[in-house]
């Protein structure tokens, strides 16, 4: 998707001296206009060329349950399984006690 035209405020923000991804100073000829080329085409910020090329949207959100295996978590798994399309992988200890689980979301 092509990038949208920058507003006056975005053009001024592009003149900043630091990359908005790694927060390091720009060297000559390393600044590019980072934009969301896969989803919206919206300008995000100035970035180093390498930072821009390596930047990825993450659709993975880690959630940690301390001592999950010590609790009856079937109600959590049931809700997570039905909240969005996709399947759940579980690593069980017993029928309703789990060491870990992963939700695979088909669409957002």
Three-class secondary structure of residue 48 per DSSP: strand
pLDDT for the residue numbered 58: 65
User: Length of the chain, please?
Assistant: 108
Per residue in 7-36, pLDDT (tens digit) is: 888 888 778 888 888 889 988 878 888 877
Nearest to 6 by CA among 57, 56, 43: 43
The residues near 98 (Cβ < 8 Å, ≥ 6 apart) are: 68, 69, 73, 77, 90, 91, 92
What's the angle, vertex CA 94, arms to CA 88 and CA 95, rounded to 5? 60
What dihedral do alpha carbons 8, 14, 20, 24 form, nearest 10°?
Answer: -160
Residue by residue, DSSP assigns 37-63 as TTTT--EEEEEEHHHHHH---------
Is the distance from CB of 90 to CB of 77 less than 8 angstroms?
yes
Q: Which residues does the chain have with pLDDT short of 50? A: none
């Amino acid at each position: 998707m092509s990038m949208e035209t920058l507003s006056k405020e975005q053009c001024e923000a592009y003149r900043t001296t630091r990359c908005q991804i790694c927060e390091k100073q720009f060297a000559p000829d390393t600044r590019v206009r980072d934009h969301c080329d896969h989803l919206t085409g919206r300008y995000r910020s100035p970035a180093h060329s390498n930072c821009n090329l390596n930047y990825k949207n993450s659709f993975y959100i880690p959630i940690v349950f301390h001592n999950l295996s010590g609790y009856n978590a079937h109600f959590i798994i049931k809700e997570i399984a039905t909240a969005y399309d996709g399947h759940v992988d579980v690593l069980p200890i017993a029928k309703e006690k789990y060491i870990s689980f992963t939700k695979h979301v088909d669409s957002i």
